[in-house]
Every structure is written in C-alpha cells, then in structure tokens.
C-alpha cells in the first residue's frame, strides 16, 4: 500500500482562514490554532464567538463576517488586502438538514449542495487565483484542510442531499490532488505557462471524515425533521485533536491525507478491541476513490497498523 511521504508542517506564524468559526468544530479548530500562534482569520454570518474576542482585540486574529454562499470571493480578496492572503485554509462551514428526501424543500437541497460542495470549490479557486494574480506578494497556499463527513462512505436514510454534497467534496479534493501531481510531473511547459503562477502551487490537501460529532448540530437539525439521526457522538475534542495533528503532520498523521474518525464501528464482533472512539486512516491508494468505495465497509480497508484508540 503506497503512502505519501511524511509531511511535517509548522503552522506557527502562518495565516489561516477558517470558515464557520462562530461555534462548533470551526470555533474549536480556530481556538487551537490561535493558541499555537497561528494568525486566524475567522468567518461566519454571525458575530465572532467570545473565545475570539481577546485575540481580535490584540491583533492575533481577525474576523470576516459574511455569508460564504453570497460573498466568498469578496471575503478572500478582503483577506488579501488586509493580510496578504493565507497559507492555510480550513474549509469547515457546512449545512446539514437530514430528513426523508421527499420532505426536503428544493431550496434546502440546493442550499446544502451549494454550501457543502460548490462554495468549497469556489473558495479553493479564489484562493489559488489570488496567488496567480498577485503572485509577487500573496501568501502561498500551503495547506488545505477540509471537514468532510463519514456520510461519504455510509449511506443513511436521511442523508441523500448531504452525502451527495460531501461525497462530491471528497471527489473534488481527489481531483485537486490529481491535478497537482499532473502539473508537477506531466504537464507541458506551454500548459504551465498558460496557467501562470498557479501551476507551481502544490498545497497539501487534507480531508477529515468525522462520524457524528457532539456540536449541537444534530439536535438543531432534528427540529422539524421526521427522520432522526441516532447513534453515539464523537467528542468535539477528538475531532479537533485530529485536525491539529493532521495540520502538524505529527506521528502517523503526516502519512495520510484522508483521515476518518469513527464512533463504534459497525462490526464490533470483528473488532472487539475497538470499543468507543477510534481513528481509522484511509490509505491513499488507487482503490480509495473508486466509485464503489462507498459500498465497502470502511473498517475493512483501514490500515490496521495505524488504527489508534481514542479517548472515550
Ligand atoms: N456535527 C457533526 O455531527 C458533523 C459530522 C461530520 C461532519 N461535520 C461537518 O463539520 C463541519 C462543522 O460542523 P459543526 O457541527 O461544527 O456545525 P455548526 O455547529 O452548525 O457550525 C457551523 C458553522 O458554519 C457557519 N456557517 C453556516 N452557514 C454559513 C454560511 N453560509 N456562511 C458562513 N458561515 C456559515 C455557522 O455560523 P453562522 O450560522 O453564524 O453563519 C457556524 O459557525 C460541517 O462542514 C459539517 O458538515 C459535522
């Protein structure tokens, strides 16, 4: 099984644009990065959370209030004007409206696909494009961390639109990696010239696939929904720890760019020792992004060498 080279990364002193930081995972990821000396530019439609206020006051953080679905490109350009851009992008903001498909209003389906798939693609494009236009002084994209969902791998009755969007995001990230590899190894000089400075970019693209997380998102989204999401919840700290380790490339985390975080695997009889939370790292191989991947049991393909028991 081929693994990518171990990727250690030092985020201290870099700029990180983290979306959806008013609460939940985004707030906690942003907070951890701030504690590590990263200059975080947060974003949400509502005001910054209490945990950001002091950092903003002393200049260690900034905040762009705005709807990513309406003003994503404008926010990217504002960050360039104020901070010269950002090396790290944490694509976290997401929409989640579980219900039986026929009960989802068309605009809810469109909003979910837009925020969970189209907006992340446009935000990556805008980030890369910034470097192309302003390559003499824009901060170079180095690391893209994407909060995907385990829904990309397991079909469930209330998740049709959500898992379509999140699976699309996962496929898009694989496409970006493929493009980067091609540009590095195979593309012609004339293609590279036509593309401009962006052809020389090769940020590490990381995808995190959490199971249900205890952020309040599930109980909030259950309001008005006929279908109830059930099952245990991952503590927010487990997911945040994983994201930070993936950013730093610590231990085994630098060897994998696709990282799943599961609660109580579906086949406890085959993995009796794995009670509670554990982390499964998806090996990066030719099989990982096959179209039938979602039909296979994640646990069966996780690399046993690197299964790590989490705290419960
Ligand atoms: N919680 C889970 O069980 C779970 C499991 C797997 C994956 N995930 C993924 O993890 C990510 C974070 O989830 P979470 O549970 O932390 O959600 P959350 O608590 O609802 O937080 C979502 C954040 O996104 C912001 N946001 C929503 N729409 C936005 C928009 N149009 N423009 C800008 N910001 C927007 C929200 O702020 P405002 O409302 O103020 O804009 C909030 O800060 C999502 O991508 C989600 O799909 C979650």
User: Half-sphere exposure of residue 255, counting CA atoms within 13 Å on the CB side?
Assistant: 14
Query: In the chain, what percentage of residues exceed pLDDT 90?
Result: 60
Residue 266 pLDDT: 52
CB 218 within 8 A of CB 156: no
Report how far residue 3's alpha carbon sits from residue 24's, in angstroms, rounded to the nearest whole number. Answer: 31
Mutate which of 19, 22, 24 for ligand 1? The one with the most ligand atoms within 8 Å of its CB, which is 24
Residue 137 pLDDT: 87
- Per-residue pLDDT band at 173 (split at 50, 70, 90): very high
Q: Is 210 in the pocket of ligand 1 (CB under 6 A)?
A: yes
- Per-residue pLDDT band at 80 (split at 50, 70, 90): very high
Pick the atom of ligand 1 nearest to 23's CA.
Answer: 43
Q: Is 55 in the pocket of ligand 1 (CB under 6 A)?
A: no
37 vs 210, which has greater pLDDT?
Answer: 37
User: Half-sphere exposure of residue 57, counting CA atoms within 13 Å on the CB side?
Assistant: 6
235 vs 284, which has greater pLDDT?
Answer: 235
Name the DSSP class of 128. Answer: H
Report how far residue 218's alpha carbon sits from residue 228's, in angstroms, rounded to the nearest whole number. Answer: 9
Q: Is 234 in the pocket of ligand 1 (CB under 6 A)?
A: no
Domains and CATH numbers, the chain: 15-309 (3.40.50.720)
CB 241 within 8 A of CB 278: no
Report how far residue 44's alpha carbon sits from residue 217's, in angstroms, rounded to the nearest whole number. Answer: 15
65 vs 295, which has greater pLDDT?
Answer: 65
Please report where in the chains the tokens 């690197």 appear, as a residue. Answer: 306
Report how far residue 150's alpha carbon sits from residue 153's, in angstroms, rounded to the nearest whole number. Answer: 6
Enumerate the H helices of the chain as residue ranges.
24-35, 50-57, 68-83, 106-113, 119-133, 160-185, 189-195, 217-222, 236-248, 298-301
Report how far residue 159's alpha carbon sits from residue 151's, in angstroms, rounded to the nearest whole number. Answer: 8
User: Half-sphere exposure of residue 149, counting CA atoms within 13 Å on the CB side?
Assistant: 25
Residue 255 pLDDT: 75
Q: Evaluate if residue 312 carries a pLDDT over 50.
A: no
187 Cα to the center of ligand 1, angstroms: 37
Tell me the average pLDDT of the chain. 85
Q: Is 209 in the pocket of ligand 1 (CB under 6 A)?
A: no
Query: In this predicted model, what pLDDT tens digit does every residue of 13-71 receive, in sequence order?
Result: 999 999 999 999 999 999 999 999 999 999 999 999 999 999 999 999 999 999 999 99
Mutate which of 74, 96, 214, 263 for ligand 1? The one with the most ligand atoms within 8 Å of its CB, which is 96
Query: In this predicted model, what pLDDT tens digit does every residue of 81-134 receive, in sequence order?
Result: 999 999 999 999 999 999 999 999 999 999 999 999 999 999 999 999 998 877
Report how far residue 242's alpha carbon sits from residue 24's, in angstroms, rounded to the nearest whole number. Answer: 15
Give, in degrees to the nearest 5, the angle at Cα 45 between 42 and 49. Answer: 50
First to last CA, the chain: 30
Report how far residue 163's alpha carbon sits from residue 121's, in angstroms, rounded to the nearest whole number. Answer: 16
Report how far residue 150's alpha carbon sits from residue 297's, in angstroms, rounded to the nearest whole number. Answer: 11
């Amino acid at each position: 099984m081929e693994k990518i080279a171990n990727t250690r990364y030092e985020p201290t002193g870099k700029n990180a644009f983290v979306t959806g930081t008013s609460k939940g995972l985004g707030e906690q990821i942003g907070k951890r990065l701030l504690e590590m000396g990263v200059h975080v530019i947060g974003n949400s439609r509502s005001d910054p959370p209490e945990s950001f206020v002091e950092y903003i006051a002393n200049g260690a953080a900034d905040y762009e209030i705005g709807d990513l679905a309406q003003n994503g490109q404008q926010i990217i350009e504002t960050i360039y004007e104020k901070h010269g851009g950002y090396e790290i992008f944490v694509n976290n903001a997401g929409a989640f409206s579980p219900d039986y498909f026929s009960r989802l209003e068309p605009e809810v389906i469109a909003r979910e696909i837009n925020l969970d798939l189209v907006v992340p693609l446009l935000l990556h494009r805008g980030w890369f494009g910034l470097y192309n236009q302003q390559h003499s002084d824009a901060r170079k994209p180095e690391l893209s961390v994407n909060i995907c969902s385990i829904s990309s791998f397991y079909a469930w009755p209330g998740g049709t639109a959500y898992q379509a969007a999140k699976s699309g995001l996962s496929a898009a990230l694989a496409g970006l990696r493929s493009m980067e590899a091609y540009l590095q190894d195979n593309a012609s000089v004339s293609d590279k010239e036509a593309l401009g400075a962006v052809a020389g970019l090769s940020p590490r693209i990381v995808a995190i696939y959490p199971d249900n997380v205890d952020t309040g998102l599930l109980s909030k989204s259950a309001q008005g929904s006929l279908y109830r999401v059930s099952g245990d919840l991952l503590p927010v700290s487990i997911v945040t720890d994983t994201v930070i380790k993936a950013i730093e490339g610590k231990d085994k985390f630098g060897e994998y760019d696709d990282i799943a975080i599961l609660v109580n695997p579906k086949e406890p009889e085959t993995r009796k020792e794995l009670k509670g939370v554990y982390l499964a790292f998806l090996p990066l191989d030719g099989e990982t992004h096959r179209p039938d991947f979602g039909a296979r049991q994640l646990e069966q393909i996780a690399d046993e060498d690197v299964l790590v028991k989490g705290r419960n």
